[in-house]
Amino acid sequence: METPMGYGSMRRKEDARFIRGRGTYVDDVTLPGMLYGAVLRSPFAHARIVSIDTKAAEAHPKVRAVITGAILDGLKLAWMPTLSYDTQAVLATDKVRFQGQEVAFVVAEDRYAARDALELIDVEYEPLPAVVDARRALDPDAPVIRDDKDGKTDNHIFDWSSGDKDATDRVFSEAEVVVTQDVLYPRVHPAPLETCGAIADFDKVTGKLTIWCNTQAPHAHRTVYAMVAGLPEHKIRIISPDIGGGFGNKVGIYPGYVCAVVGSIVTGRPVKWMEDRSENLMSTSFARDYHMRGEIAATRDGKIRAVRVSVIADHGAFNGTAQPTKFPAGFFHVFTGSYDLEAAHCAVTGVYTNKAPGGVAYACSFRVTEAAYLIERMVDVLAYELGTDPAALRMRNLLRPEQFPYPSPTGWEYDSGDYPRALALAMDIAGYDDLRAEQAAQRERWAAGEVGGTLMGVGISFFTEAVGAGPRKHMDILGLGMADGAELRVHPTGKAVLRISVQSQGQGHETTYAQIVAEELGISPDDIEVVHGDTDQTPFGLGTYGSRSTPVSGAATAVVARKVRERARIVAGAMLEVSPEDLEWEKGRWFVRGDPDQGRTITEIALAAHSSLELPEGVEGHLDATTVYNPPNLTFPFGAYICVVDVDPGTGRVKVRRFVAVDDCGVRINPMIVEGQVHGGLADGIGMALMELIAFDPDGNCLGASFMDYLLPTSMECPSWELGATVTPSPHHPIGAKGVGESATVGSPAAVVNAVLDALKPFGVRHADMPLTPAAVWRAIQGAPLRT
Residues engaged in binding ligand CDP (CB under 6 A): 507-509, 512, 544, 547-550, 554, 665-670, 673-674, 677, 737-741
- How far is it, in rounded angstroms, from Cα 763 to Cα 756? 12
> Closest approach of Cβ 588 to ligand CDP, in Å?
21
The angle at the Cα of 307, spanning 304 to 308, to the nearest 5 degrees, equals 155
Q: Maximum CA pair distance of the chain? A: 91
Helix (H) or strand (E) holding 474: none
> Closest approach of Cβ 540 to ligand CDP, in Å?
17
Helix (H) or strand (E) holding 687: helix 671-690
> Closest approach of Cβ 412 to ligand CDP, in Å?
18
Rg (CA), the chain: 28
Choose between 69 and 680: whose C-beta lies nearer to ligand CDP: 680
> Closest approach of Cβ 211 to ligand CDP, in Å?
22
> Closest approach of Cβ 548 to ligand CDP, in Å?
5
Choose between 539 and 580: whose C-beta lies nearer to ligand CDP: 539
> Closest approach of Cβ 640 to ligand CDP, in Å?
17
Choose between 740 and 780: whose C-beta lies nearer to ligand CDP: 740
- How far is it, in rounded angstroms, from Cα 600 to Cα 641? 48
Contact by Cβ (8 Å): 487, 625 = yes
Pairing mode, strands 595-601 and 589-592: antiparallel
Choose between 96 and 334: whose C-beta lies nearer to ligand CDP: 334
> Closest approach of Cβ 638 to ligand CDP, in Å?
12
Contact by Cβ (8 Å): 336, 409 = yes
Choose between 101 and 670: whose C-beta lies nearer to ligand CDP: 670
- How far is it, in rounded angstroms, from Cα 738 to Cα 735? 9
Choose between 603 and 745: whose C-beta lies nearer to ligand CDP: 745
> Closest approach of Cβ 378 to ligand CDP, in Å?
27
In sequence order, what are the residues at sequence separation of 6 or more whose Cβ sits closer than 8 angstroms to the Cβ of residue 269? 33, 34, 35, 64
* Terminal Cα distance for the chain, rounded: 54
Choose between 46 and 509: whose C-beta lies nearer to ligand CDP: 509
Contact by Cβ (8 Å): 183, 381 = no
Name the residue type at position 475: M
- How far is it, in rounded angstroms, from Cα 282 to Cα 196? 12
> Closest approach of Cβ 509 to ligand CDP, in Å?
5
- How far is it, in rounded angstroms, from Cα 55 to Cα 68? 12
- How far is it, in rounded angstroms, from Cα 173 to Cα 70? 57
Measured CA distances, 38 to 35, 253, 320, 401 (Å): 10, 16, 22, 55
- How far is it, in rounded angstroms, from Cα 609 to Cα 521? 15
Measured CA distances, 156 to 97, 291, 698 (Å): 15, 15, 20
Choose between 251 and 760: whose C-beta lies nearer to ligand CDP: 251
Choose between 371 and 740: whose C-beta lies nearer to ligand CDP: 740
> Closest approach of Cβ 676 to ligand CDP, in Å?
8
Choose between 512 and 726: whose C-beta lies nearer to ligand CDP: 512
Choose between 97 and 509: whose C-beta lies nearer to ligand CDP: 509
Question: From the CB of residue 710, how many other CB atoms can be counted at a distance below 10 Å?
Answer: 23
> Closest approach of Cβ 544 to ligand CDP, in Å?
5
- How far is it, in rounded angstroms, from Cα 137 to Cα 317? 11
Choose between 249 and 319: whose C-beta lies nearer to ligand CDP: 249
Choose between 186 and 508: whose C-beta lies nearer to ligand CDP: 508
> Closest approach of Cβ 246 to ligand CDP, in Å?
8
DSSP helix/strand/coil, 416: coil
Contact by Cβ (8 Å): 328, 359 = no
In sequence order, what are the residues at sequence separation of 6 or more whose Cβ sits closer than 8 angstroms to the Cβ of residue 585? 565, 569
Exposed e or buried b for every residue in 368-388, given b needs 16+ CB within 10 A? bbbbbbbbbbbbbbbbbebee
CA 12 to chain centre: 21
The angle at the Cα of 741, spanning 737 to 746, to the nearest 5 degrees, equals 110
> Closest approach of Cβ 712 to ligand CDP, in Å?
19
